[in-house]
Structure 1
């Protein structure tokens, strides 16, 4: 990698505008921006494509799909991490928080048993310089599982852990207000019959009552003492949001109603929604649409959730819709806003002094197609 590079003839998407210009990179950092094309012979011509900040992803469970590509099939962890990393960088994501779940509600699941191998593979591949994106950890804590708190305490001291979320997927509240929807979802997901589903419902409700409130308080207190950002999950009512804010959480993942999103805005919590929700035109589970929240000025962060390639198209789609969200604002939702919410200050926008994490994207029929990716000025895709 040369000590100095110039990327020229690109539509630079900064925090507040888009303009044709050039970027000077030195020692992994952005050191200058200029309008127009560079006349220097070593400048790289980007052909008028968009130049964006590297994307920051706070919540993706994509790695778990590579660890278990089919039900009952466990894939070697190092290979799984590298395959996942390839998808992440191809999507323009230069900083990714790999979401790993603590507390497996699946009665036949082995997610907890696979955690050590998964975490070791993330750390070892990154230390060896094999990953192209920068990987951090997001611990997703399922509160209605008896082992969640003890496993959390074992894992939270891992230096890669930079974000924690707390969730309660028991029936009758949040994402599953209607038990009928809960039964439909989990009978399909875990292939349960009526009898085993009845037992599953009773167990989850009992575990929620026994552990949820106590574990939430203990986990959030520990995180705040360590300076970690904490996210709530599936807040559905103003009361949920008020509880989350009272605990000190600063991010609300996937609020399910307009009421909850408005409460987040009033109480200073950042609203994170799924990029697939935008691309598909609505929530797959029938909850509030992310585009609707954007139209109300209530959307702060987009996450690819279960599909990494959705992140960049979702931002461009939002910018093209009839709302007050222009392209710089939409790109903030997948770069600067998530970085700030997670307490990261050295990246997230094209600005002098920040890391040269950059994405060249070409608009093809309205779809942004990633052409090149740089991480700290090193081309990685």
Structure 2
């Protein structure tokens, strides 16, 4: 396959050139265009690496599209996969939650269904993107440690993150924001919300520290990359670094983001945060961290189509240190490198031919085609 007349986004520059693929691998990159028969003219559009998504919970919404509606697992997974590949995401770490802040939630009911669907789709080669397992461990939930150990025995994980969504700290340092979010989400009365806050606070006291330590020890022993979640203080970052965490997911303050970056952790922020211009929880904005030069990775989180859009928006910001290659790195080789995937995320000879052709109209980036291992996937 030959792609020509493209603005090829390399690791440190953008060139107008031609890219050749052989057997699913990038074989050469040359300056200038060619007129060879069969070459695809990219019409001056951008050619970027297929994106690597480390944290998305997009899958679960397809398993329960409405309250009480349980969708067949493989069909639900395939719709999720189609959304990811159409957004230019060619490697997906599906973030599946162990534990929740509410008992009997659909998230808990769908846990094994989602893990099994991911495994079966991978074995039967039903998906267009590469799907890997990211276990999100809610350490304030009483059953999290037991479920984590049971899942690891049946399905290997490629990434594990440790979360604590109890009130008054991390993502919800503001108790007012906590009440606003969960009271609205679960339609609780003021009295019910008071009980909810007390129950979550008590659960965190009982389980969080012990479960965090044991889960991290297991991952370090098995060589599974670890991510922290919603670090807010220097103490949180010091603890994360102590447990050998390589990624800082969604730090909530500039203090925590800078500390994590200085310790060599990949600071991850949400692409929706970039597109919307700020955090829905009232925490630090991703573009603020970009202006400080401490933004390392972007994640589409709950909205797949936000990822490429956010990279181009970061590159367009006046008050930041990221040109287009550096902004594209936030969604390609930086997340890949953080979890040890060195065969993808870059446009260079020898790497997987996971590619995205897109065109920019005004401030909107539009995906034309996507290739996985040199094969057209969208």
TM surpasses 0.5: yes
Q: CA RMSD in A?
A: 1.2
CA offsets 1:242-276 (integer angstroms, 9 cap, x no match): 11111111110000001111111221111000001
What SS does the corresponding residue of 1:23 show, helix, strand or coil? strand
Aligned to 1:335: 332
Task: Assess if the C-alpha contact under 8 Å between 2:24 and 2:373 holds in 1.
Answer: yes
The aligned counterpart of 1:223 is: 219
Query: Could you tell me how far 1:180 is from its partner in structure 2?
Result: 2.3
> What are structure 2's unaligned runs of at least 5 residues?
none
- Counterpart in the other structure of 1:208: 204
In the superposition, the TM-score normalised over structure 1's length comes to 0.97
Q: Please list every run of at least 4 consecutive aligned residues from structure 1 whose deviation after the TM superposition is greater than 4 angstroms.
A: 157-160
**Greater mean deviation of Cα atoms: 173-182 or 55-64:** 173-182
Match of 1:278 in 2: 274
Q: Indicate conservation of the 8 Å contact 1:136/1:160, yes or no.
A: no
Structure 2 distance, partners of 1:95, 1:79, is: 19
Shift of 1:159: 5.1
Instruction: Between 113-122 and 318-327, report the one with greater CA deviation.
Output: 113-122
1:86-132 per-position Cα deviation (integer Å, ceiling 9, x unaligned): 11011000000111000021234132222121111112122222211
State how far apart, in whole Å, the 2-side matches of 1:242 and 1:376 are. Answer: 39
Counterparts in 2 of 1:299-318, with a 5 A limit? 299-318=295-314
Q: Tell me if the contact between 1:106 and 1:190 (Cα under 8 Å) persists in the aligned partners.
A: no
CA distance, structure 2, for counterparts of residue 86 and residue 338 of structure 1: 21
TM-score, structure 2 normalization:
0.97
Residue 230 of structure 2 aligns with which residue? 234
Counterparts of 1:157 and 1:320, CA distance in 2: 46
> SS of the residue aligned with 2:305?
helix
Determine if contact 2:53/2:300 at 8 Å carries over to the other structure.
Answer: yes
State the Cα distance separating 1:44 from its structure 2 match: 1.5
Instruction: Work out whether 1:349 is the aligned partner of 2:350.
Output: no
Query: CA separation in 2, counterparts of 1:245 and 1:168?
Result: 17
Structure 1: gaps spanning 5 or more residues = none
Which one is further off, 213-222 or 361-370?
Answer: 361-370
Could you say if the C-alpha distance between residues 355 and 159 of structure 1 is closer, same or farther in structure 2, counting changes exceeding 3 Å? farther
Q: CA contact under 8 A between 2:172 and 2:281: conserved in structure 1?
A: no
Cα separation, partners in 2 of 1:318 and 1:212, compared to 1, 3 Å: same
Alignment coverage as a number of residue pairs = 377
Looking at structure 2, the residues matched to 174 and 335 of structure 1 have their Cα atoms a distance apart, in angstroms, of 27
